[in-house]
């Protein structure tokens, strides 16, 4: 979680409650109220087995401007077929009935165990208290309520000046395991008090997601429930347009980057935050292929956990990508600023003790120069620890 202040967003109110969806006596249900006449944008998972709430949220977003987001943890409502769709509709109807809005003005989101029926009957009892408890200061408690295997709530916030007025951008997310683009295998909710046209808001979100949530990986698994929502309440004094949108995009991107880093830092059992940069690739896809091959290599990830400067594992990962006409003597690899590989082998100046110093750090960079072209990419990942296996082996117990 960011140590910076979390600024409330005018026109956005949040509340959390315990509905007993999976565990007793813990907040597991969140309502976010969006001001009338606001705009809303979203991106969702590309997983073919997308969850019922994802399907329904897309339908509702295409039909109406949302007034409420309804988020539950403890149950993903994914892989649940027609019963899952019915449960998602029932939960939206429960909130719509009490709040007085239309059912398609409610967007549902779920996170938790896949393949178990969502207990929709537990939602109605909690909803009146949620609506009574709505508060612009509710971000912290809401961020805790949407956690699953997360160890800390994740929030980020910016307050900037645009055209002489203040603009707030605040967001929260959950995510720790099953992290891999695209989307970023997590739930994220970002809000601003600025007025932003819907089309510009959607473009902003897509441009902010690409270098943040779509550039992280913990374990290479995408989930069925990924979603990222950007809400613009319009309750502030600033109107975003083509002339000032760059400043707004910068603030949204910074919030998304903070949240994305928090997800990787909190990767299940993670002890290291690792930036992987690939330079001088022939194409962008080639750069991404190399970066993700390194990031997803169990041998590289376990070496990172052990703080073992076993640079041969990185070299081997690069070599198995399958690049056509690959000239290995042009490849250079660094740990932070320490060059470890040149001309297809260990750099003559490299010393094991220097590599050990870098690997002992909790944050480090692996940089690969392919010597092939002008394309580059950067992603974030983490190590693979004993705890990752334990957490995921015991997830349902």
Tokens in use for 183? 């989307």
Q: Which residues contact 270 (CB under 8 A, 6 or more apart)?
A: 218, 264, 382, 383, 385, 388
Q: Are 1 and 152 in contact (CB under 8 A)?
A: yes
Which of 48, 49, 96, 88 lies closest to 71, judged by CA? Answer: 88
Which of 314, 305, 299 lies closest to 382, judged by CA? Answer: 305
Q: Which residues contact 158 (CB under 8 A, 6 or more apart)?
A: 7, 168, 169, 170, 251, 254, 255
Q: Are 370 and 286 in contact (CB under 8 A)?
A: yes
Q: Are 94 and 123 in contact (CB under 8 A)?
A: yes
Verify whether residue 378 is a known catalytic residue.
no
Q: Are 208 and 156 in contact (CB under 8 A)?
A: no
Alpha carbon distance 314, 188 (integer Å): 32
| Catalytic residue (one of 91, 111, 170, 185) | 185
Give catalytic residues, as residue numbers: 185
């Amino acid at each position: 979680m960011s140590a910076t202040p979390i600024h409330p967003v005018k026109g956005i109110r949040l509340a959390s409650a315990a509905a007993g969806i999976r565990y007793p006596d813990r907040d597991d249900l969140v309502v976010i109220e969006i001001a009338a006449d606001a705009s809303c944008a979203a991106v969702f998972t590309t997983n073919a087995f997308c969850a019922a709430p994802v399907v329904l949220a897309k339908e509702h977003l295409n039909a109406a401007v949302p007034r409420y987001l309804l988020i539950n943890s403890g149950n993903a409502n994914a892989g649940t077929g027609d019963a899952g769709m019915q449960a998602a509709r029932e939960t939206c109807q429960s909130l719509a009935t009490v709040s007085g809005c239309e059912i398609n003005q409610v967007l549902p989101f779920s996170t938790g165990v896949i393949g178990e029926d969502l207990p929709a009957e537990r939602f109605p009892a909690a909803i009146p208290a949620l609506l009574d408890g709505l508060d612009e200061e509710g971000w912290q408690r809401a961020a805790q309520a949407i956690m699953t295997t997360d160890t800390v709530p994740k929030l980020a916030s910016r307050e900037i000046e645009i055209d002489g007025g203040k603009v707030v951008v605040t967001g929260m997310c959950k995510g720790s395991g099953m992290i891999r683009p695209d989307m970023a295998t997590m739930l994220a909710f970002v809000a601003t008090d600025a007025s932003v046209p819907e089309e510009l808001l959607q473009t902003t979100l897509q441009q902010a997601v690409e270098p943040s949530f779509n550039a992280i990986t913990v374990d290479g698994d995408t989930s069925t429930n990924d979603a990222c929502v950007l809400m613009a309440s319009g309750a502030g004094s600033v109107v975003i347009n083509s002339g000032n949108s760059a400043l707004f995009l910068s603030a949204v991107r910074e919030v998304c980057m903070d949240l994305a880093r928090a997800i990787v830092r909190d990767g299940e059992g993670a002890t290291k935050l690792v930036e992987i940069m690939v330079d001088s690739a022939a194409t962008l896809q080639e750069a991404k292929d190399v970066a993700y091959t390194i990031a997803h290599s169990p041998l590289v990830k376990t070496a990172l956990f052990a703080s073992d400067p076993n640079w041969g594992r990185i070299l081997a990962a690069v070599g198995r990508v399958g690049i056509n006409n690959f000239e290995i003597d042009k490849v250079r690899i660094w740990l932070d600023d320490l060059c470890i590989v040149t001309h297809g082998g260990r750099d003559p100046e490299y010393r094991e003790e220097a590599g050990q110093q870098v690997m002992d750090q909790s944050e480090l960079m692996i940089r690969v120069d392919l010597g092939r072209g002008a394309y580059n990419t950067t992603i974030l990942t983490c190590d693979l620890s004993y705890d990752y296996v334990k957490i995921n082996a015991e997830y349902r117990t």
